[in-house]
């Protein structure tokens, strides 16, 4: 099936995920997906302005291209936070118009802004005026009773009128009352067709699709109708899928899981040397052997051992060896089974 554009920085990205896509995680994802755009966890504009910037904004040079996701709804604050992000070397700033948590609603930002396109447009206009890097939006299809495609397109049109051209569409709406953030990522039905229709009607915009995309085949299908895909949970829970997608899109050979993990060692070691505990890095690799022989043991060894104060890279080697052994055992068992089958 023909793809509708050459692969570029928008083709593949890893979604912003609070508590998950920290800098350690992004360094690991970069090894798996050399071409993907990576997103930080959401940081509120006020925190960027007044908070501990080293902790909130620090990132490793290998993470480029990397985007800072901002939360907020005050144009002046968002402009200031964008300026700071640009100074820190971020390649893009993205405004969160998709998070439905109560805390976020109380602060009047995130998904509830789907009801306030004029305010979002003011925010984006202020951000665009403040920086030279791209300013993008991550949004939903709507919230609560917003049920028609027209309202979604009007939202995008009002925001795009500021000059913003890139929209990441989490292709379901959010319920602001009654559903937890987790349920809001599962219960409202996915309607990819709305994102595709938007791309057809507004071809000058860059539209990336997000939500429920879990296989290289699905990625390929979405790219026939849009400019990009954004992977969230699957990239975290089954990071090898992220590698498979990147390798397939850019026609690169697949690397083994152990190989990819060992490529993470220099970074892990540099962090250990700075006094960062292994558990902060190890937690992001737990799903690497998902579905593989020994995959559960890999996870168990790391989960049990990484919390020890003296845990270091040797624990990870031990976990890799355990999966190797499990794979060998399975291989020789199936060889024995097929020999006895042909003998009988
Ligand atoms: C643990 C977790 C944290 C998330 N945090 C954010 C966030 O900070 N900002 C945001 O825009 N979306 C956030 N999301 C939503 C994801 O970016 C994404 O839109 C959603 O998970 C749907 O994509 P998926 O089905 O590929 O996971 C979060 C999702 C999860 C699972």
Is 99 among the residues known to form the active site? yes
17 assigned binding-site residue: yes
Give the pocket of ligand 1 (CB within 6 Å).
15-20, 41-42, 69, 96, 98-99, 138, 170, 185, 210-213, 231-234
- The minimum-distance atom of ligand 1 relative to the CA of 212 is 25
Query: What are 66's strand-pairing partners?
Result: 38
Q: Specify the pLDDT at position 2.
A: 38
Q: Is the entire prediction scored with pTM above 0.85?
A: yes
Cα-to-centroid distance, 233 and ligand 1 (Å): 7
User: Which is it for strands 206-210 and 228-231: parallel, antiparallel or unpaired?
Assistant: parallel
Ligand 1 pocket test: which of 16, 41, 93, 231 has the largest number of ligand atoms within 8 Å of its C-beta? Answer: 16
Enumerate domains of the chain plus CATH numbers.
12-249 (3.20.20.70), 257-343 (no CATH)
Note down pLDDT in tens along the chain; length 344 residues: 334 445 778 999 999 999 999 999 999 999 999 999 999 999 999 999 999 999 999 999 999 999 999 999 999 999 999 999 999 999 999 999 999 888 887 888 899 999 999 999 999 999 999 999 999 999 999 999 998 999 999 999 999 999 999 999 999 999 998 899 999 999 999 999 999 999 999 999 999 999 999 999 999 999 999 999 999 999 999 999 999 999 999 999 999 999 999 999 999 999 999 999 999 999 999 999 999 999 999 999 999 999 999 999 999 999 999 999 988 888 888 888 877 776 65
DSSP 195: H
User: Helix 239-249 crosses helix 23-32 at what angle (to 10 degrees)?
Assistant: 40
Q: Rounded to the nearest whole angstrom, what is the distance from the C-alpha of residue 241 to the centroid of ligand 1?
A: 17
H or E element: which one contains 219?
helix 216-223
pLDDT at 335 (0 to 100): 83
Question: If you write DSSP's letter for every residue of 260-278 in order, what string do you get?
Answer: HHHHTHHHHHHHHHTT--T
Q: How far is the centre of ligand 1, averaged over its atoms, from the C-alpha of 170 (Å)? A: 9
CA 32, CA 28: separation in Å to the nearest integer?
7
Concatenating the DSSP letter of every residue in 27-46 gives HHHHHH-TT-EEEEEEEEHH
Residue 268 near residue 285, CB atoms below 8 Å: no
Alpha helices in the chain (DSSP H): 23-32, 45-50, 53-57, 75-87, 102-106, 117-130, 149-160, 192-201, 216-223, 233-237, 239-249, 257-263, 265-273, 279-282, 295-305, 313-343
DSSP state of 8: -
**Taking a C-beta distance cutoff of 8 angstroms, is the pair 286, 301 a contact?**
no
SS3 state of residue 170: strand
pLDDT, residue 300, reads 96
Q: Which of 18, 19, 20 to mutate to test the pocket of ligand 1 (most atoms within 8 A of CB)?
A: 18
Q: For residue 340, what pLDDT is reported? A: 76
Stretch (H or E) spanning 220: helix 216-223
| DSSP codes joined into one string, 177-191 | SS--TTGGGTSSPP-
CA distance 27 to 61: 9
Tokens of 71: 């939360």
């Amino acid at each position: 099936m023909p793809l509708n554009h050459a692969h570029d920085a928008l083709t593949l990205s890893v979604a912003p995920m609070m508590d998950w896509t920290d800098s350690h995680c992004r360094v690991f994802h970069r090894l798996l997906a050399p071409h993907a755009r990576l997103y930080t966890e959401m940081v509120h504009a006020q925190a960027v302005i007044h908070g501990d910037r080293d902790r909130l904004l620090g990132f490793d040079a290998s993470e480029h291209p990397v985007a800072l996701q901002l939360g907020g709804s005050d144009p002046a604050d968002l402009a200031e936070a964008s300026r700071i992000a640009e100074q820190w070397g971020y390649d893009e700033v993205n405004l969160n118009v998709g998070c439905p948590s109560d805390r976020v609603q109380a602060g009047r930002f995130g998904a509830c802004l789907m009801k306030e396109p004029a305010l979002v447009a003011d925010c984006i206009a202020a951000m665009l005026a403040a920086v030279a890097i791209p300013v993008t939006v991550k949004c939903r299809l709507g919230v609560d009773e917003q049920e028609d495609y027209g309202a979604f397109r009007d939202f995008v049109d009002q925001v795009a009128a500021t000059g913003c051209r890139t929209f990441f569409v989490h292709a379901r709406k959010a319920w602001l009352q009654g559903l937890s953030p987790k349920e809001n990522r599962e219960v409202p039905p996915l309607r990819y067709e709305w994102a595709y229709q938007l791309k057809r009607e507004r071809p000058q915009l860059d539209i990336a699709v997000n939500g429920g995309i879990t296989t290289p085949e699905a990625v390929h299908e979405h790219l026939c109708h849009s400019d990009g895909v954004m992977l969230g949970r699957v990239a975290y829970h089954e990071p090898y899928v992220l590698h498979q997608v990147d390798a397939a899109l850019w026609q690169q050979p697949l690397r083994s899981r152990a190989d990819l993990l060992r490529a993470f060692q220099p970074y892990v070691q540099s962090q250990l040397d700075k006094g960062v505990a292994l558990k902060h890095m190890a937690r992001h690799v737990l799903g690497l052997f998902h579905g593989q022989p020994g995959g559960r043991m890999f996870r168990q060894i790391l989960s049990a051992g990484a919390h020890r104060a003296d845990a270091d890279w040797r624990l990870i080697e031990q976990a890799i060896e355990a999966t190797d052994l499990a794979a060998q055992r399975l291989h020789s068992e199936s060889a024995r089974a097929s020999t006895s089958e042909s003998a009988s």
